[in-house]
Each structure stands twice: as structure tokens, then as C-alpha cells.
């Protein structure tokens, strides 16, 4: 419980710092997650549902040395290390710290998003997308990945150039959780710096802050090149090979076999058409009605009844957000243009999960890998609402 206490204290420090601006809203994720944990504990106590399931148990087994697995490209290394520390040096209490450790991380994630978008409606994410709260009571690395991605972006865009050093540290930590996520964030941030240089060069002199940030980046690049050059090159080569593998030949056929059982409704032989379907499946599945049918039949035997109830609520709210975006489709681009550079970077980085998992897994995967995309849908809907509000105020004036 020591690790949980420390991470909670970090969150409470920032919560107290911004309390006058946020009120009690940042505590929503804590309240919802803890309520779900109590319900989950009751459900699992009946013996038909595993306390740790799938990858949750796998991290524990690796940390305890029961099984050995070399994380590809250092992926998952940081989460396995955290598991090892909690298992060997913390007060374990039947796995409760591993079940709850993601709650303060989720709270910090929402706080960082609030700092980026400066809109208190951000704190409604666990209400609108309650599956985020389910993820916060699982021994999985996804929420820390989202948090480090958001932190990297926020710190990079902070007016104090020294914060870029912290941003780079967050990116290095992200490499030890999910390498491709770190590469995507790094490419987006470097592209924004390059764009600013080109834009400033055409109009005015480069600002002092931008110049300082660029110097810091160059210094870190030169320092890290000898150490990270070969490793980064290997990651890029592996990603390129994997992309070719899953989009053609044996890899593509295996994915179709595993994910859709070569169903003719989804496998036409036309890769463009099939991958388009895969993108649609990633975005819209599971359909609320299919989850409802499963609920009527007693819920998922693998994940449990509570998981399906929250899944149904989550997907229902997602479809409502889709409807809002369709109704206001002409306002999406204007609202996006009025979003800050850091907000755009978050949207770009989270949105990248869409094509990655649509191609590599044919769009059929657990909702935890769709959560970044769903957060983007929430953020865009929020930005449209703000855009309409500002336009209405301007018309009154």
C-alpha cells in the first residue's frame, strides 16, 4: 500500500494546488473507481471471476519469475518493475495495491488534460466514458501510458524551457511502457517545433523560448545519439517489418483468421476495402445492442457482469458523442483550429491508436486499446461545444 499512498499523495498535492479552480471534480475518478472496485470484489468473491485476469496475472507471473518473457523493445519493462517492487517490497494485502495503483495515475491523467484544455468538463471523462474507471482498477499499463503521453505533451509546451527536460524524461519512461507511443509523441512534438521555426522564419524573429527549447533538444539529441541511435534504429526497423508483415502475406492472413475467422463479410480479398472495414470496426465496436444481448444472457463469463454493464454504458455514451459530432460535423474543423498546440498534439497522439490497431489487429481488440480514440471523440465534442458557446457570445456582443 506504500506505493499507492505515495502516488495518491502526488495527486493530492496537485489537487490542493488547483483546488480553487477545480473544486471537487478531480475526485470523481477516485469515487467512481473505488465504487467499481468494491462491486468487482463482491463479484469475484463468488469464485466465478478471477481477481487478476489475462495480462494482469501475466505481469505478476513475470515479476515473480514464474514465467520469463523478454519485453519486445523494452515494452512493459517499467510496469513489470513496478509489479516486482509492489510484490516484493510493498504491503501487498491480497493484491489490492496492484488493483488500485492505477487510480491516482488516472486522476493525474485527467488533471493534466484539464491543464492542457483548460475546461472543467474534462473531469466528466469517467462519467461519460466510465470504462476508464474500470481500467483504473486493473493491473494493466495502459493508463500510465496515457498519462506519460499527456505529460510529455504538456511539459513540452510549457513556457519554461527547462520543462522540456522533464518532457524528455517522460518520453524515456514511455519507451519502457510502449515504445511506439513514445515515438509517435516525439514525432508530433518535433514536427510542431519544426513548423513553428518555418512559420516564425517567414513572419518574425524566432522567440527566445522557442530558441531555448530548440537548443535543449539539440543538446539532448547529441548526448543521446551514441547511446540511443542503434536502439531507435532497431525499433523503427522492427516497426517497419511488422507493418509489412500485418499488411501483406502470411501476417495479414493470420490476423484475418484469428480476428474474423476469414468471414466473407469482412474478408473480400481487396485489402483497401478490408482495412477500411477494420477501421470502422475499431471505432464503433462493440455495438451497445450486442453488449446488451450478452447482458441479458448473464454477461461475459471471462470479464464478468460488472465489466459488461460498464461497457454497455460506455458504448452507449460513445454513440451519443458520435451523434453529436455528426450533427455538428461542419464545426469540427473550426473547433479543432481553435485548439491549443498542446491540445492538438494530444489529439494527434491518441488518434494514432486508431490506424495502428485497425491495421495490426483488424480493429478487433479489447476496449482498453480503444480508449485513447474514445477520449479523442470526447475532446472533440467538448471543443465543438466550446466553439459554439464562444460564437454565441460573440453574436450577442
SS3 for the chain, per residue? CHHHHHHHHHHHHHHHHCHHHHCCHHHHHHHHHHHHHHHHHHHHHCCCCCCCCCHHHHHHHHHHCCCCCCCHHHCCHHHHHHHHHHHHHCCCCCCHHHHHCHHHHHHHHHHHHHHHHCCHHHHHHHHHCCHHHHHCCCCCCHHHHHHHHHHHHHHHCCCCCCHHHHHHHHHHHHHCCCHHHHHHHHHHHHHHHHHHHHHHHHHCCCCHHHHHHHHHHHHHHHHHHHHHHHHHHHHHHHHHHHHHHHHCHHHHHHHHHHHHCCCCCCCCCCHHHHHHHHHHHHHHCCCHHHHHHHHHCCCECCCEHHHHHHHHHHHHHHHHHHHHHHHCHHHHHHHHHCCCHHHHHHHHHHHCHHHHHHHHCCCCCCHHHCHHHHHHHHHHHHHHHHHHHHHHHHHHC
- Residue 364 pLDDT greater than 90, yes or no: no
pLDDT grade for 209, boundaries at 50, 70 and 90: low
- Note whether residue 108 is domain-resident: yes
- Residue 211 pLDDT greater than 80, yes or no: no
* Most confident region among 5-9, 191-195, 287-291 by mean pLDDT: 287-291
- Note whether residue 256 is domain-resident: no
- Note whether residue 17 is domain-resident: yes
Which pLDDT score is estimated for 383?
A: 95
- Note whether residue 215 is domain-resident: no
- Note whether residue 102 is domain-resident: yes
Looking at the chain, the whole-number percentage of residues with pLDDT higher than 70 is 77
- pLDDT, one tens digit per residue, over 121-153 is 999 999 999 999 999 999 999 999 999 999 999
- Residue 394 pLDDT greater than 60, yes or no: no
- Note whether residue 1 is domain-resident: yes
pLDDT grade for 204, boundaries at 50, 70 and 90: very low
| Residue 110 belongs to domain spanning | 1-140
Global confidence as pTM:
0.88
- Note whether residue 95 is domain-resident: yes
> How many independent structural domains does the chain possess?
1
Which pLDDT score is estimated for 121?
A: 94
Looking at the chain, the whole-number percentage of residues with pLDDT higher than 90 is 39
- Note whether residue 362 is domain-resident: no
Amino acid at each position: 500500500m506504500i506505493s499507492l499512498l505515495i502516488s495518491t499523495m502526488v495527486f493530492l498535492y496537485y489537487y490542493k494546488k488547483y483546488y480553487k479552480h477545480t473544486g471537487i471534480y478531480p475526485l470523481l475518478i477516485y469515487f467512481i473507481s473505488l465504487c467499481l472496485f468494491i462491486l468487482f470484489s463482491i463479484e469475484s468473491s463468488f469464485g466465478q471471476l478471477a481477481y487478476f485476469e489475462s495480462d494482469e496475472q501475466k505481469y505478476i507471473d513475470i515479476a515473480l519469475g514464474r514465467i520469463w518473457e523478454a519485453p519486445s523493445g523494452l515494452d512493459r519493462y517499467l510496469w513489470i518493475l513496478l509489479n516486482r517492487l509492489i510484490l516484493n517490497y510493498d504491503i501487498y494485502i491480497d493484491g489490492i495495491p496492484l488493483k488500485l495503483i492505477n487510480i491516482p495515475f488516472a486522476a493525474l491523467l485527467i488533471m493534466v488534460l484539464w491543464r492542457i484544455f483548460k475546461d472543467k468538463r474534462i473531469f466528466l471523462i469517467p462519467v461519460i466514458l466510465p470504462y476508464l474507471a474500470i481500467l483504473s482498477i486493473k493491473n494493466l499499463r495502459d493508463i500510465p501510458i496515457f498519462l506519460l503521453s499527456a505529460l510529455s505533451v504538456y511539459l513540452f509546451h510549457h513556457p519554461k524551457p527547462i520543462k522540456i527536460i522533464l518532457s524528455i524524461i517522460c518520453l524515456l519512461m514511455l519507451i519502457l511502457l510502449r515504445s511506439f507511443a513514445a515515438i509517435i509523441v516525439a514525432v508530433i512534438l518535433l514536427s510542431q517545433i519544426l513548423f513553428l521555426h518555418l512559420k516564425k522564419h517567414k513572419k518574425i524573429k524566432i522567440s527566445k523560448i522557442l530558441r531555448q527549447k530548440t537548443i535543449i533538444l539539440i543538446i539532448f539529441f547529441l548526448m543521446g545519439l551514441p547511446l540511443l541511435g542503434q536502439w531507435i534504429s532497431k525499433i523503427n526497423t522492427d516497426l517497419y517489418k511488422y507493418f509489412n508483415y500485418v499488411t501483406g502475406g502470411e501476417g495479414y492472413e493470420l490476423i484475418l483468421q484469428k480476428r474474423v475467422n476469414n468471414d466473407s463479410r469482412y474478408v473480400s480479398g481487396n485489402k483497401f476495402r478490408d482495412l477500411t472495414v477494420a477501421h470502422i470496426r475499431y471505432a464503433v465496436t462493440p455495438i451497445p445492442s450486442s453488449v446488451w444481448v450478452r447482458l441479458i444472457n448473464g454477461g461475459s463469463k471471462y470479464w464478468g457482469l460488472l465489466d459488461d454493464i460498464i461497457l454497455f454504458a460506455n458504448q452507449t455514451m460513445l454513440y451519443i458523442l458520435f451523434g453529436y459530432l455528426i450533427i455538428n460535423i461542419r464545426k469540427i474543423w473550426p473547433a479543432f483550429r481553435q485548439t491549443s498546440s498542446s491540445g492538438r498534439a494530444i489529439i494527434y497522439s491518441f488518434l494514432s491508436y486508431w490506424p495502428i490497431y485497425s491495421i495490426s489487429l483488424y480493429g478487433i481488440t479489447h476496449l482498453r486499446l480503444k480508449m485513447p480514440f474514445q477520449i479523442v471523440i470526447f475532446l472533440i465534442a467538448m471543443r465543438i461545444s466550446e466553439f459554439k458557446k464562444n460564437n454565441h457570445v460573440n453574436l450577442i456582443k
